[in-house]
Amino acid sequence: MDDANGAPPQVDARPANACFRCGTQYGSVALARMAGLPVCDACASFFRNRPFPVWIKVAFTALILLAVLAFIYNQRFFFAHVGMIRGLHELKNGNLERAVTLLNASAERVPEEPEFRAIARYFQAALLVNQERSGEAIPLLKEAVAIRPDDPAYALALLEAEAGFAYERKDYDRFLEVAQTLARRQPDNPIAALGVASAHACKYAVTGDEAPKTLAERQIEAASKMKEADEPAFAEYLDRIRYRLETREIISRGEYLRRFPNGRSTQGAGGGG
């Protein structure tokens, strides 16, 4: 007799040709094997088509529901992260207003994440400073500094906003004080050095005293020797300071750009610095 038709071994004292599950004796009938044991057709069908227990179905449903709830909860973080990336991409393209909109939306999606809020406040403050609304930028930057007191970028931005606010209020003594603090913290930054010259130029424009004018010229000379003093931003800032020294007229950056959109040197209105 071959192995398929051979008499199976005894299992739990059942007859040699009995189904190992139900124990039915099939005499000389050859039974199918399952895991090496004889099994009748009815029992084989039971094992092969056995339904999942109810507890497994319930547990599986609960896991699916938990996964769905987790996705709904965490999608806020996913979309906030995507919005933050898009906002930073807009910054690289020079679109600050669009970037601020995206960054603020991201921060609002996850209010429990202070890092998102600090970044959004920082760039919104930068937009306000550019719009010559430095006073409105100060509380935003104070909030960012409170979240990340160890980040020097936020602290410097707060000082810059305070300098801008003093300038906008025509408090040129305070403007000079904050500008000097910024220059001390950034000794190699030519723009920070020009900030001091700008404050001295304001004091000269108001008083006509030659002393602040001399100090402004010295500061301009020192700043012009610094690395990166050949950047367009430096030249534009310097030209505005020289205009103030030459005319004793203090005008905002926006007004200056309106009058001289291509710089004064191209319009024959004085040196371009």
Distance CA 171, CA 166 (A): 5
Q: What is the pLDDT of residues 248-258, one digit of tens each?
A: 999 988 899 89
| Cβ–Cβ < 8 Å for 38, 17 | yes
Task: Please indicate whether residue 137 or residue 28 has the higher confidence score (pLDDT).
Answer: 137
Q: What is the dihedral of CA 151, 144, 140, 116, to 10 degrees?
A: 120
pLDDT band at residue 269, thresholds of 50, 70 and 90?
very low
| Cβ–Cβ < 8 Å for 223, 237 | no
Pick from 59-63, 127-131, 159-163: least confident: 59-63
DSSP class of 7: P
**C-alpha dihedral sign at 213, 217, 218, 219:** positive
**Residue 39: strand pairing partners:** 32
pTM for the full predicted model:
0.68
Give the best-scoring range by mean pLDDT among 4-13, 24-33, 45-54, 106-115.
106-115
pLDDT band at residue 6, thresholds of 50, 70 and 90?
low
Q: What is the pLDDT of residues 162-179, one digit of tens each?
A: 999 999 999 999 999 999
Task: Please indicate whether residue 12 or residue 271 has the higher confidence score (pLDDT).
Answer: 12
